[in-house]
Amino acid sequence: MTDPRRSIPRTDALLAHPRLAEARRRFGHAQVKALIVAAQEHARKGDLPPSDVLAAVLESLPGSAAGLRPVINATGVLLHTNLGRAPLSAAARQAVELAAGVTDVELDLGTGGRGRRGRTALAALAAAVPAAEAAHVVNNNAAALALAATALAAGGEIVISRGELIEIGDGFRLPDLLVSTGARLREVGMTNRTSLADYAGAIGPRTGMVLKVHPSNYRIEGFTADVPVARLAELCRERGVPLVGDAGSGLLTPEPLLPREPDVTTWLNEGADLVTTSGDKLLGGPQCGLLFGRAELVERLRRHPLARALRVDKITLAALEATVAGPPTPTWESLHAGQAALRARAESLAARLRDKGIDAEAVGSQSVVGGGGAPGVVLPSAAVALDGAIAAVLRRAEPPVLARVEGGRCLLDLRAVPAEDDDALLDAVLGVPPEE
């Protein structure tokens, strides 16, 4: 009797198959071959008929050459760090596609000579923050602080309040970053109270900079005191020491919905010499770190050797420019979504699910900014409540849906879900097998 495994299609025959030609172009020879070998192995084990090997390979092809998968964020956290924080706007995505080709990122087409890298992105930043004499872009806000500390305080001291020695996700501690630059920390005040006199007593001939850090992922309440930027800036001017402010959550101008969240423009107007912030948080753009401030200091940082190691690529510059100069971002739209509109969407989705025999209810919910921004601020929202067991199944849906489980219920919070994704969210829930 002939062994059926002998009829398994050969690797070279499958690689040459016309139905896999496009796959080879998109994903490359090696990735397609690996999928073929895996399907052949299933057939050798008897788990797959030899005649179905080609179909299995076609079914196993990924959606893209990258391993990342698009996810629907129904957690109610606008800037979910594990989901890449801010989703890019349509304008920024188009800019990324354009920048992925050959561009004039560092060429002056008029003269044919070298041009200022990122000049149009820098112009957009200048227009967005007129209070800044100059701006510079690095690969994240931690890099911005590292560059400032290295250029201004390496071998010297950084004066900083004990109440601002923050730790963020994955055990990253700001003091460790600052000390790694070769600077020494001069801690002042107490965890809950720091006065102007504390700073004044610490500034000396070895002070390279004074650092003011916004505690973006926690709040200290009760018997507390800190020093406003305006008063600290006046002291620094008197002593001839630069004041650097970390306003890391990404606001370039004041946001009425988040009155306690600092912004770059306000801190510069209050006298800060340099202000750093993130691009992928409330600004709603790509991951990058932004530095704004006095032209002399920004140029000093830009010309420092470390700046080369921290510079961003053309794709980031393109996405940043489109974010700053373009239409409202998905992050802005999620932040400003009206509760009535969110509730109406939740009611509609719940009704459509009930029509399909699924127990669903529209409920009130609470969202947060996330991403280390606006701690303690609660945004009223609306959600579709389902059985709690469905949350784990939805993570395996296509596309995966990340929900929130509260009180044994799975909540699909709609604040961070664009309205155009409601049908995809509905299909994901409807695709859950009945037994699950």
Same domain flag for 211 and 99: yes
Task: Express each pLDDT in 202-242 by its tens digit.
Answer: 999 999 999 999 886 667 777 778 999 999 999 999 999 99
Q: Can you tell me the distance from the alpha carbon of 217 to that of 169, in angstroms, rounded to the nearest whole number?
A: 10
Query: Residues 89, 95, 99, 104: is their CA dihedral positive or negative?
Result: negative
Tokens 């037994």, located at residue: 435
Same domain flag for 276 and 146: yes
Same domain flag for 307 and 344: no
**Amino acid occupying residue 355:** D
Residue 67 lies in a domain: no
Residue 65 lies in a domain: no
Same domain flag for 205 and 351: no
Top pLDDT among 243 and 55 is at: 243
Residue 347 lies in a domain: yes
**Structure confidence at residue 2 (pLDDT):** 63
Same domain flag for 117 and 253: yes
Task: Express each pLDDT in 176-192 by its tens digit.
Answer: 999 999 999 999 999 88
- Residue 217's closest CA among 267, 261, 277, 266? 261
Same domain flag for 117 and 48: no
**Structure confidence at residue 435 (pLDDT):** 57
- Among 105-109, 266-270, 367-371, the range with the most confident prediction by mean pLDDT is 266-270
**Structure confidence at residue 157 (pLDDT):** 97
Q: Are 264 and 128 in contact (CB under 8 A)?
A: no
Assigned token pair, 270? 């209050």
What's the CATH number where 354 sits? 3.90.1150.180
For the segment 112-121, the average pLDDT, to the nearest whole number, is 92
For the segment 78-101, the average pLDDT, to the nearest whole number, is 95
Q: Can you tell me the distance from the alpha carbon of 322 to that of 320, in angstroms, rounded to the nearest whole number?
A: 5
Domain tally, the chain: 3
Q: Are 272 and 247 in contact (CB under 8 A)?
A: no
What's the CATH number where 152 sits? 3.40.640.10
Q: Cα-flanking dihedrals φ and ψ of residue 246, to 5°?
A: -100, 100
- 173-189: b (≥16 Cβ within 10 Å) or e: ebeeebeebebebbbbb
Same domain flag for 418 and 389: yes
Same domain flag for 322 and 229: yes
Residue 247 lies in a domain: yes
Same domain flag for 340 and 315: no
For the segment 319-343, the average pLDDT, to the nearest whole number, is 97
- Residue 294's closest CA among 310, 278, 311, 271? 271
**Owning domain of residue 229:** 88-327
Q: How far apart are the first and last CA of the chain?
A: 43
Same domain flag for 53 and 153: no
Residue 402 lies in a domain: yes
Q: Can you tell me the distance from the alpha carbon of 202 to that of 189, in angstroms, rounded to the nearest whole number?
A: 10
Q: Which of 286, 309, 327 is the last residue of a domain?
A: 327
Same domain flag for 236 and 302: yes
Instruction: Using alpha carbons, list the distances in angstroms from residue 402 to 34, 74, 313, 397, 435.
Output: 30, 6, 30, 10, 20
For the segment 387-413, the average pLDDT, to the nearest whole number, is 93
Same domain flag for 281 and 408: no
Task: Express each pLDDT in 349-380 by its tens digit.
Answer: 999 999 999 999 999 999 999 887 888 889 99
**Structure confidence at residue 118 (pLDDT):** 92
Residue 313 lies in a domain: yes
